[in-house]
A and B are shown apart, each in its own frame.
Chain A
Amino acid sequence: MADISIRSVRKAYGKDEVVHGVDLDIYDGEFIVILGPSGCGKSTLLRMIAGLEEITAGEVAIAGQVVNQMEPRERGCAMVFQNYALYPHMTVAENIGYALKVAGMAKAERIARVTQVATSVGLDGMLDRKPGQLSGGQRQRVAMARAIIREPRVFLFDEPLSNLDAKLRVQMRHEIRRIHNRIAATSVFVTHDQHEGMTLADRMVIMNKGTIEQVGTPEEVYDHPATTYVAGFIGSPAMNFLPGRISTAGRAVVLEGGARLDISAAAALGHDGLLVQVGLRPEQIAIAAPGQSGLPVRFDFAEELGSGRLYHFLHEDLPVTVHSDEKRRFAPGEPATLTVPPVAVHLFDAQTTQSLTAAAALAEARARVNA
């Protein structure tokens, strides 16, 4: 019903283009997270869907209807802003009910609806307060209630949790997901926080410098990052990168300094001698005794996480981080060997930064799911 289709959308301020031709299909009822660093154009894209920003070129359609020339109010979207944007001179009830008042709903009916929605987000007994008398979390709830009450076709969230402390952020994240499930509107959520993105999204869109790097479920994006940018951005601690060269004959990638890692992906083996970036997730590396086949390293230092430990090693002076549940002791400079299963070796063309392995692996994974 309320699917959103974005076709080669561009945004320029004067000569300065910030969104360079974005294509994206958002399905009805889906929770989409647009993830990227600040200045990547993600908020601009959201605001173009909302109608707060003019679309320089391209087309945005909601439920099959092109909305480029429509006023925000005609688009059936509700938005939750980063700084809540509550009307400071109105009470909580007036804030939540403002859209209904503008729409001309009778007062009695309006009050009933406001009370009902306020209760659903846990704001009972606060309806007569002004936003200035509320805590951050309560303001967030008012902002949510103000969006919910309009029963929108599309929910837009512009980094709504970034002003909250860590604990409240997790709590509100859960509530947003619950509300989405209950209301079944299409949600578009912009954030720079990968945890928010991974936990909330049905599908995520990774943006960088005004273009889309990858679209996929959180699992797909994590397991099969399409570019070095996505690989480095998703995952905490971040993926390790080491330069190397593919050797088809040896079914391996040869790192600088001569170490070899076995690879299995047929897609990569076609590129004999190609310079690549080898990506290794810290949590997919195992630590073995020195002298075994694998990546020879020296111990640098460790960080305790409670549930596990981060071991920082050096391979040819390049840092390699390993996340392990094992508690082991190393002396500084002590040698060790790191082993990685061939399927966990991510290979990216050093020149184009595109993954050599993701496309094939993704297709295989999707085929398995469908079978």
Chain B
Amino acid sequence: MRRAYFKNNWIAALVVAPQLIIIFVFFYWPASQAIYWSLTLEQPWGGGNTWVGLENFRTVLSDPVYWSSIRVSIIFALASTALAMGMAMILALFADRQLTGYRLYRVGMIWPYAIAAPAVGLAFRFVFNPNAGLFSFINTIAPETWNPTLNGTQALIMVIIAGAWKLVSYNFIFFLAALQSIPRSLTEAAAMDGAGVLRRMRDVQLPLLAPTFFFILVINITDSFTDSFGIVDTLTGGGPARATDLMVYKIYSDGFRGFDYSGAATQSVILMGLVIALTFIQFRYVERRVHYT
């Protein structure tokens, strides 16, 4: 393939400048600021800072509260990703069967992706409300069973379900597109070979979804680590007793409620490193297994 080169370098620079400026202003500059802050002790009310080296990291990483936040975040990421991908896959397999009314259904499935995270959180607050929500029927059968404002495990389950729900529609779009790009003749050939509907899904459709599956996995894991703030804030506020205090939420509450800018910056850097490491691992060890040609 021939590539077009710009003879004039400063025109090339001008063309890419807007993109570079945006990335710089919204990523590199704040990221480098966070790294700088994580190495200093910042005064809460302004007025200078002191260089402390890696002291902040030592403090954060020796704090058992922070380790419990990491644990909760990992549980949340794995569970909501698994739930979101599983649900989306099942729904997409059904939509791909093109049963009556699947067009309407497809559009309806995509809508939730347009809803902002805080709105999702608010909606689920009603759903999970122990007194009036859908889940209150549990309390009707067995009183005092469902109460996420007191029970940490229940609160985490609630946040996982809400987080997964938000991702389902996004995943669904990709899974459906991938399913529909599988040639019809392949499933027909499998039908001629004697495989029923479920067998065809297992032996032909799912293996061919592997590249999409991997892409969605990376996106979902990253998303559940970094983009779950709105749900936690509206649903639980990190509680009860820090049971849903995800890393990204803890950054916010330590930084803007506790005015511990340096601690929050340190946590941001750790979170960034964690996400980069996870993505690297996925590309290194998972991606090579998903190509079939």
Contacts and interface: CB of A to CB of B under 8 A. Distances in A.
B187 to A, nearest CB: 9
Contacts of B199: 102
B189 A85 contact: yes
Interface string A212-240: 00000000000000000000000000000
Interface stretch (A70-78, A182-190, A266-274, A287-295): A70-78
B293 A87 contact: no
Q: Which of A77, A98, A103 has the most CB of B within 10 A?
A: A98
Contact of B185 (A85, A102, A146): A85
B188 A146 contact: no
A81 B188 contact: yes
Contact of A81 (B189, B196, B204, B292): B189
B291 to A, nearest CB: 9
Contacts of A51: 191
B191 A89 contact: no
Interface string B182-222: 01011011111111100100011001101000000000000
A259 interface: no
A99 interface: yes
7 contacts: A52-B188, A73-B191, A73-B194, A73-B195, A89-B210, A98-B193, A102-B194
A58 interface: no
Q: Which of B186, B189, B204 has the most C-beta atoms of chain A within 10 angstroms of its own C-beta?
A: B189
Given A88-B208, A99-B193, A130-B293, 19 more contacts: A50-B192, A51-B191, A52-B188, A52-B192, A72-B188, A73-B191, A79-B189, A81-B185, A83-B183, A87-B189, A87-B203, A89-B208, A89-B210, A98-B190, A98-B193, A102-B195, A103-B194, A130-B292, A146-B189
A332 interface: no
A88 B193 contact: no
B208 A83 contact: no
A98 B190 CA distance: 8
A132 interface: yes
A88 B194 contact: no
Residue among A71, A77, A86, A102 having the largest count of chain B Cβ atoms under 10 Å: A102
Contacts of B210: 89
B150 to A, nearest CB: 49
Contacts of A87: 186, 189-190, 203-204
Report, nearest first, the 10 A-B pairs whose CB atoms are least far apart: A89-B292, A73-B194, A85-B185, A132-B293, A99-B193, A85-B189, A89-B207, A102-B194, A72-B191, A79-B192
A150 B194 CA distance: 10
Interface of A: 50-52, 71-73, 77-79, 81-83, 85-89, 98-99, 102-103, 130, 132, 146, 150
Main secondary structure of the interface of B (DSSP, over half): helix
Contact of B203 (A83, A88, A98, A132): A98
Contacts of B203: 87, 98, 102
Nearest to B206: A89
Given A77-B192, A103-B194, A85 B207 contact: no
A83 B182 CA distance: 13
Contacts of A86: 189
Contacts of B204: 87
Contacts of B183: 83, 85
A47 B245 CA distance: 58
Given A81-B185, A102-B199, A88 B191 contact: no
- Looking at B183, B186, B192, B207, which has the most chain A CB atoms within 10 Å of its CB? B192
Nearest to A79: B192
A264 B208 CA distance: 65
Interface in B70-115: none
B292 A85 contact: no
Contacts of B185: 81-83, 85
A98 to B, nearest CB: 5
B161 to A, nearest CB: 33
Given A83-B185, A102-B199, A73 B192 contact: yes
A87 B189 CA distance: 9
B183 to A, nearest CB: 7
Contact of A88 (B188, B196, B292): B292
A364 to B, nearest CB: 43
Contacts of B207: 89
Nearest to B186: A85
B192 A88 contact: no
A130 B207 CA distance: 14
Contacts of B194: 73, 99, 102-103, 150
Contacts of B188: 52, 72, 79, 81, 85
Contacts of B189: 79, 81, 85-87, 146
B193 A146 contact: yes
Contacts of B192: 50, 52, 72-73, 77-79
A82 B193 CA distance: 16
Nearest to A75: B192
A102 to B, nearest CB: 5
A186 to B, nearest CB: 16
